[in-house]
Amino acid sequence: MSKIPVTSSHVNISGLHPRFRQRLEAFFADPRIKGKVAVVSGTRTYAQQAYLYKKYKSGRGNLAANPDRKLRNGFQGSYHMSQPAFDNWGYAVDFRIVGRISTGEVNKIAAEYGMVKTVASEWWHHQPCRVSGGKMDWFPMKGKEPAHAQNTKNELTGLAKLIEDCSKTVVRLGDTGIVVKVLQQFLVANGHKLTSRPKERSGIDGQFGKRTLTAVKKFQRDEGLAADGVVGPKTWAALLD
């Protein structure tokens, strides 16, 4: 059971990297923090990040990163989003004060647990690491790091979670991003070609174009589904089967 307090059942902490989760558990067990702070925002799926970004762009929401934002080091979108270029875990939480404690104090104590406020204007946003040289560079923590279970099983759990999240998203012609990439991976795994040009190898590019559409329709026909080219719950289920 998680000992990480959240402000609502919608806060997803299951997608946090296990090492990060253990730092959070140690932090929330600290008597200076216990009952005074909770997590108001954990990990987000690509679709959730896209929604927040849209809201922000239309002037109705808080600052949110473009989910398709790609840095050269492999980082994508927001640290709250499961990171496709790494291991599909999320690497940020936002805190909320729920008791008598100052934000400065929260920042100071969080830093002791290797969780640093990385956005100057957001006291609440904390990360255990940042991307550096193509890998996650973990912030040091004061004292002994809780033993963490960063093994293959956990990484596979992260991958399974990403696929599950993607399969809840309806995608169609014109869509782009990680969900489309996952779709394309499954199309290829099911024996469908996304390109005729050998130079382009797989054609897995995260762009739902005409070739992807053709492959989706063919897959749907093969599976006895309505060949409308729209990837909804039934098509995802068949792809993942």
Tell me: does residue 94 bind Zn ion (CB under 5 A): yes
User: Alpha carbon of 96 to those of 52, 67, 125: distances in Å?
Assistant: 19, 24, 10
3-state secondary structure of 130: strand
Fill in the amino acid letter for 70.
K
Q: Residues 178 to 207: which contact Zn ion by CB under 5 A?
A: none
Query: Are the C-beta atoms of 89 and 82 separated by less than 8 Å?
Result: yes
In the complex, what is the shortest distance from the CB of residue 240 to Zn ion, in angstroms, rounded to a whole number? 30
In the complex, what is the shortest distance from the CB of residue 126 to Zn ion, in angstroms, rounded to a whole number? 8
Tell me: does residue 87 bind Zn ion (CB under 5 A): no
Tell me: does residue 17 bind Zn ion (CB under 5 A): no
Closer to Zn ion by CB, 44 or 161: give it. 44
In the complex, what is the shortest distance from the CB of residue 201 to Zn ion, in angstroms, rounded to a whole number? 36
**CA 231, CA 138: separation in Å to the nearest integer?**
37
In the complex, what is the shortest distance from the CB of residue 143 to Zn ion, in angstroms, rounded to a whole number? 25
Please enumerate in sequence order all residues whose Cβ is within 8 A of that of 43, keeping only pairs 6 or more positions apart, or say none: 12, 13, 14, 15, 16, 80, 81, 82, 89, 90
Closer to Zn ion by CB, 67 or 229: give it. 67
Rounded to a whole number of angstroms, the CA Rg of the chain reads 20
Closer to Zn ion by CB, 94 or 165: give it. 94
Closer to Zn ion by CB, 18 or 77: give it. 77
Give the end-to-end CA distance of the chain in Å, rounded to a whole number: 30
Tell me the per-residue interface mask from 101 to 140 with Zn ion, x by CB under 5 A, - otherwise.
------------------------x---------------
Query: Are the C-beta atoms of 170 and 50 separated by less than 8 Å?
Result: no
Closer to Zn ion by CB, 19 or 125: give it. 125
DSSP 163: H
Site for Zn ion, rule CB under 5 A: 94, 125
